[in-house]
Chain A
Amino acid sequence: MTDTTPAEARIDTPGRPVAQQFKALGWYVLLTVLALIILYPLYMSLMRALSDPAAYARAGNPPWPVEAEWDVFSKAWNGGNLSAATFWSFAMSAVITITQVVTAVLSAYAFVFLRFPFKRLLFVLFVATLMLPLEVTFVANSLTIRQLDWIDTLQGLTAPFLASALGTFLLRQGFLGIPKELREAAFLDGYGHIRFMTRIAVPLTAPVVASVGLLAFLSSWNQYLWPRVVTEQENHQTLQIALRRLGAANVQQINVGVAGAVLAALPIFALLILFQRAIVRGLTAGAVKG
């Protein structure tokens, strides 16, 4: 979140100090209630995960653990074969993230800093891919993957996501923010395009590059439809697919399923807390610029 001063807050300041404090207290109460509501599903799931299923149900699903079983996470990990799933999720997300950043940097650089024919048409072609959601193309794509014999492979999981129009778009905005004089100075200094891109343009847009990378990681980690289509063997599935097995399969083992979900969400929660600013910048770039 950016460090802007909400005028709302500043304007409310005149008034007696005591009244002000009550006002602030009121806001804290409201915000806390809202936070609790939002966290409720997660919190209750955690309590359930930690409890013995039968005892928890007998106790009437209370907001605290009942006959806590701390080994539920290891149960989920081993029972759901989550180690393989975690490996595939990480491998897939890492490959997609790195490749997507590279291809997006290259194409955005071309759109901003190079002169070539049909630039506008090519850009429209890029944007058009945003209009073709995966839900539209996955059938034909899964056939392609089958024909390539890429089912249950890393290349099958990643291939359609190795380029990103959204990433290109975000980086293009970033590159456009580099002052024209800086480019000219670099060319006079003798920089070629490759050197200018790697030494100046990319370092200067590092926050945008980070946003693009984080968004790529986040969306590929949470991907559901595609991994489901191109994986068949259990030990080639990603976490999200393994969860479906783990969670929905057995109502009696509901706590194991929930524990698996918590494990699957952990890396992304960690990223969100560590890099909240960059992620939010990426998510909101389109909205606020417009």
Chain B
Amino acid sequence: MSTVKFDQVSKRFGKTTAVDSMSLNINEGEFMVLLGPSGCGKSTALRMIAGLESISDGTLSIDGEVVNHVDPRERGIAMVFQSYALYPNLTVRRNIESPLKAKDVPPDDGGPPRRLNAEERNARVNEAAAMLDLEPYLDRKPGALSGGQRQRVALARAIVARARVLLMDEPLSNLDAKLRAQTRAELIDLHERLGGTVVYVTHDQIEAMTMADRVAIMAAGALHQVGTPEDVYDRPANTFVAGFIGTPPMNLMDGIATSGGVKVAGATLTAAHDLADGAKVTVGLRPEHLSVADEGLALAVRAVEWLGYESLITADIVEVTDGAAQPSARNADDGEAPTSLVGDAPIDTNDPEAVGATRRRVILRADGRVSARNGEVIRAAAQPSSVHLFDADTGVHL
């Protein structure tokens, strides 16, 4: 069990900065997930822990020891690769055994790290294989295994040396959806049994939310928020996190502070704040916190996705004047966009940038039997406690 500490760590490739003076403390025994869109620097950060990337600036420590210039094999880490990186020419047994043969590892008798003898190696391999249900496959080559089995072999190879820190780089991305869900549960279980420190990289927020003790959310080389899954969901530090976490993510819209609330497109939402009247803010509302009401935001319905137990209503905010909604000059029934819309382009609701950019389109999570229809204008309200306010310029949560 070990700690990992990033202190102002940067990684530059030529002129591009992949990781920008990142500081992060990973605690002993913690399951830390580095989460972010592709290219955000999370894998680079992980590879710096492994020693596969040199560190341009700052210090990286494991257990308080600076490891910037320590050989990967002497860092006491193990890693599960996205492609598993199993040796195709070796049997499963030899694959799992390989770190034991090639480097000094802490023996079970508590002594200093050393090469294990054949008997000890066998015991370790058998133990790891038992833990991951690999016993029947020990004499096969990786090519004869299914994707899920290969993934477990990679895990076994990673745990067999009792590494201080276990690194995982998108280990589930090559599995199908069903197997992925099952493996998530197995990984949680494995972590509970072994109790080591895990650093896990993924772009999949479901993996992050279900497995992490804490999540570190990264974008463009910078760390945006570190916290428990509940923290980052309930109290996103900024609009990036708000627009990234949640499926679909938080709705973001432009608003103006009023006393005791915010005004969005002419409608007033009650919210507690101590901002000056007229201050520009970004208003954030989770889809499940918006509910159909008699008054509140006016929304022109664009699409209703029925998902069984719930419906997702995609709608565009319509300007409200004197308490009445003003749909577009044209007949709203024909599905044409109201004039107040920023754009008519189809919006990918999974893309936080696209959602953030329009600032007019919202998604609300409603009852499975909701009766909203395309083109209809509905009103939606939210609990004051669920209204998030962000600085309009910096995006920071207020």
Task: Report if A and B associate in a common complex.
Answer: yes
- Using CB atoms and an 8 Å cutoff, list the residues of chain A in contact with chain B: 179, 181-182, 184-192, 195, 199-200, 203-204
Please pick, from B51, B85, B103, the residue contacting A179 in the complex, using a CB distance under 8 A.
B85
Please pick, from B86, B89, B102, the residue contacting A190 in the complex, using a CB distance under 8 A.
B102
Contacts A203-B89, A204-B88 given; does A189 touch B73 at CB 8 Å: yes
**Is B79 an interface position by the 8 A CB rule?**
yes
B72 pairs with A188, CB closer than 8 A? yes
Task: Give chain B nearest CB distance to A230 CB in angstroms.
Answer: 40
B85 pairs with A181, CB closer than 8 A? yes
Task: Give chain A nearest CB distance to B125 CB in angstroms.
Answer: 13
B77 proximity list for chain A (CB < 8 A): 188
**Is B50 an interface position by the 8 A CB rule?**
yes
Contacts A181-B83, A182-B85, A200-B87 given; does A189 touch B99 at CB 8 Å: yes
A191 proximity list for chain B (CB < 8 A): 98, 102
User: In whole angstroms, how far apart are the Cα atoms of A140 and B267 in the complex?
Assistant: 94
- Using CB atoms and an 8 Å cutoff, list the residues of chain B in contact with chain A: 50-52, 72-73, 77-79, 81-83, 85-90, 98-99, 102-103, 157
A189 pairs with B157, CB closer than 8 A? yes
Q: Residue of A at shortest CB range from B74?
A: A190
Contacts A203-B89, A204-B88 given; does A189 touch B98 at CB 8 Å: yes
A184 pairs with B81, CB closer than 8 A? yes
Q: Could you write out 5 A-B pairs with CB less than 8 Å apart?
A: A185-B157, A187-B52, A188-B78, A189-B103, A204-B88
Task: Identify the interface centre among B51, B86, B89, B157: most chain A CB within 10 Å of its CB.
Answer: B89
Task: Identify the interface centre among A189, A191, A200: most chain B CB within 10 Å of its CB.
Answer: A189
B51 proximity list for chain A (CB < 8 A): 188
B103 proximity list for chain A (CB < 8 A): 189-190
B86 proximity list for chain A (CB < 8 A): 185
Task: Identify the interface centre among B83, B85, B88: most chain A CB within 10 Å of its CB.
Answer: B85
B102 pairs with A179, CB closer than 8 A? no
Please pick, from A187, A200, A204, the residue contacting B73 in the complex, using a CB distance under 8 A.
A187
A181 proximity list for chain B (CB < 8 A): 81-83, 85
Please pick, from A185, A195, A203, the residue contacting B81 in the complex, using a CB distance under 8 A.
A185
B52 proximity list for chain A (CB < 8 A): 184, 187-188
B90 proximity list for chain A (CB < 8 A): 199
Contacts A188-B79, A189-B73 given; does A182 touch B87 at CB 8 Å: yes
Task: Identify the interface centre among A185, A192, A199: most chain B CB within 10 Å of its CB.
Answer: A185
Contacts A182-B87, A195-B102, A204-B89 given; does A187 touch B72 at CB 8 Å: yes
A195 proximity list for chain B (CB < 8 A): 102
Task: Give chain B nearest CB distance to A24 CB in angstroms.
Answer: 36
